[in-house]
Amino acid sequence: MTLRYLGNSPYCAANSLSVIFGEAGPGAPMIEVASGSPFGFSIGQVDGGHRRGFPDHEIEEIVFFSSPRWSPDFGLARSLDVLGWDCDRIHSSAEEAVAALRRASHDAPVLVGPLEMGLLPYFPGLGQAVGADHVLVGLGVEGDLLRAHDVIGWPFVTISLDDLLAAWQGDTFAYETEAYQVRAGFRQARPVATEEAVRRSMETAIHLLEAPEIAPAAQRAAELVEAGLTNMQYKYLVEFQVQAGARRLADAAVLFHDAGATASGAILEQQAKLVGSLQLLLMKHDDAATASVFRELGPTYGELLDALRKES
């Protein structure tokens, strides 16, 4: 079985929840796997032209290493349910959201988002919407500034409330979501053993892998590569999707294998290696080899579904 990976990865929701849960939490890998994010493959529709300021909107097809049935909102809700945690979700208005931020503290942190990463002014090199969703751990308001932990790498960062609200509209992503979401009042409703959390994560995986669009999406990804990726399609892959996809699969492989689902764990490790191999191929612009990897991935999702049904 694979050596467990520890290190950088775009686990913003899982790492943020780990900060909030503290020692009572199961750690970011279990949180991420419980969300269902590793299981599946899809092509999302992103309005790239609008984000680049062009008057004629261009709808671009973006590769996601997750099920078409999955979204970050689904993942957050599923993680909390599987792991036995509750919280209060506020999403009605900007005024109520800011009021919730003002009630936050180091002892009562809140989860803020999804936010448009490109509109967070402390991020270097962005400055415009890029369709990337992000969350922060809110620690309270100081004057007109939110103090927060950004788990990508900025502890105790600040952002003005005006800038935060501009990034908090929820209208730039490849999935539908609500603006001004805050999750507060986190509390552990019941203790959940790792074995139970993994078992319920396997149930989630089966549901997500049953989406009939998965295998055709992998084939479509190969065709997109062969036709020539746009700048947005390419950047999504090399700057986020490959990292996130390989890490999620690697974590799922270890957790499932350790829980006794060895066949499922082996397939997940195979998928992690295939996705991980894409980074070099994409950076070298080896389109033929990249397309071949996507085609090799396609049938593994059905194989994983069969294995999970037998082992769950």
Specify whether 272 is located in the same domain as 246: yes
**Across 136-141, average pLDDT:** 99
Residues with Cβ within 8 Å of residue 147, at least 6 apart in sequence: 138, 139, 140, 141, 156, 157, 158
Structural domain boundaries enclosing 126: 87-188
In angstroms, what CA-CA distances link 305 with 29, 132, 173, 198? 21, 29, 28, 15
pLDDT tens-place string over residues 226-243: 999 999 999 999 999 999
Last residue of a domain, one of 188, 205, 236: 188
Q: What is the pLDDT of residue 27?
A: 97
pLDDT of 161 strictly over 90: yes
Q: Structural domain tally of the chain?
A: 2
Q: Where are the alpha helices (DSSP H) in 156-286?
A: 161-166, 194-209, 214-227, 231-236, 242-258, 262-283
pLDDT score of 57: 52
Last residue of a domain, one of 188, 221, 242: 188
Residue 21 identity: F
292 is written with which tokens?
Answer: 């071949």
Asked if residue 244 and residue 160 are part of one domain, the reply reads: no
Q: Same structural domain for residues 102 and 124?
A: yes
**Cis amide bond preceding 212, omega within 30:** no
The order of strands in the sheet holding 85-90 is 85-90, 182-188, 110-116, 133-142, 145-150, 154-160
Do both 40 and 92 map to the same domain?
Answer: no
Q: Based on the domain organization, do 222 and 126 belong to the same domain?
A: no
- Whether residue 155 is found in the same domain as residue 262: no
Q: Which two tokens stand for residue 298?
A: 């396609």
- pLDDT in the model for residue 47: 65
Among 146, 162, 188, residue at a domain's last position:
188
Instruction: Provide the 3-class DSSP secondary structure of residue 133.
Output: strand
Contact 147, 158 (CB under 8 A): yes
268-310 residue pLDDT tens: 999 999 999 999 999 999 999 999 999 999 999 999 999 999 9
Same domain, 128 and 223: no
Q: What is the pLDDT of residue 49?
A: 41
Shared-domain flag, residues 72 and 201: yes
Supply 37's token pair.
């994010």
CA distance 153 to 135: 13
Q: Does the pLDDT at position 48 exceed 70?
A: no
Q: What is the mean pLDDT of residues 92-104?
A: 96
Shared domain for 97 and 72, answered yes or no, is no
Instruction: Indicate whether 56 pLDDT > 60.
Output: no
Residue 125 and residue 73 share a domain: no
Q: Are 153 and 217 in a shared domain? A: no
Straight-line distance from the first to the last Cα atom of the chain, in angstroms, rounded to the nearest whole number: 19
> What share of the chain in percent tops pLDDT 90?
86
Apex CA 237: angle with CA 134 and CA 286, to 5°?
170
DSSP readout, 19-70? HHHGGGS--HHHHHHHHTTTS--EEEEEEHHHHTT-SS--EEEEEESS-TT-
The crossing angle, in degrees rounded to 10, of helices 194-209 and 242-258 is 130
Does residue 157 sit within a domain? yes
* 97 burial via Cβ count (<10 Å: 0-12, 13-18, 19+): buried
Using CB atoms within 10 Å of the CB of residue 111, give its burial: 0 to 12 exposed, 13 to 18 middle, 19+ buried: buried
